[in-house]
Amino acid sequence: QVQFVESGGGLVQPGGSLRLSCIAPRSIFSIYAMAWYRQTPGNQRELVARISSGGSTTYADSVKGRFTISRINSVNTVTLQMNSLKPEDTAVYYCTYGLQPGYWGQGTQVTVSS
């Protein structure tokens, strides 16, 4: 059964930073694009950032210039560095894989509030 290990969420003030990490099975990490999605109550999950197996990146317009997705291949880890956080970034963040994700773990809560 697929299981990712997500970490790094928490409470931060507006303008602050957080770094999310996700460890994936090597059998998945080495082949697929990895992505972070987020979801707020009553809304659908939305793509935040995606990184291909070759390192090409895609970002939602709302996070461009503030968030950076990276892969650490040696430890099967994808990270999301989030800077200049805004209250509207508050959500549960999910790590997943592929272009049409079918795996959703528990996610990690990010709350941006003063």
| CA distances to 34, 57, 92 from 52, in Å | 6, 7, 22
pLDDT in tens, 40-72: 999 999 999 999 999 999 999 999 999 999 999
Range of lowest pLDDT (1-5, 91-95, 96-100) = 1-5
Look at residue 105 in the predicted model and tell me its pLDDT: 87
